[in-house]
Amino acid sequence: MEHFIRVYQLFSFYGQLLTEKQRLAVEWYFGHDLSLAEIASELGISRQAVHDLLKRAEQTLTAYEEKLGLAESYARRQEQLAKLDQLLKQLRDDEADPRWQQVFALLAELSK
């Protein structure tokens, strides 16, 4: 399961770099939990071809992460933003001050 989540997370960063067929297969297999047989019938290719497609896509996603590390820097940024959020909630003196509201709106934007 953890592996599924990992691949799907990498897909959210690098999905645009896959071929259309790879994208569909990954989306269906890792995102919507379709079986190899279902995807095979959907794409009009063999079960083995779907297997290869997914394997290749996974290798591509992993290779991009090794080179660009977007998932890693995203995780680090989320951690820093969570700390910032916690600190600022302690330091906030007046919840009604619109500037504080702007601060937390910006934090929410940055967490996307």
- Which of 5, 37, 75, 88 forms a contact with a copy of itself (CB under 8 A)? 88
Nearer to a copy of itself, 37 or 68 (CB): 68
CA distances from 9 to 4, 72, 78, 89, 102 (A): 8, 11, 14, 29, 30
- DSSP assignment, residue 32? S
* Structure token digits, residue 6: 């990992």
Q: Which residues bind a copy of itself (CB under 8 A)?
A: 13-14, 16-17, 64, 67-68, 70, 77, 80-81, 83-84, 87-88, 90-91, 93, 97, 99-100, 102-103, 106-107, 109-110
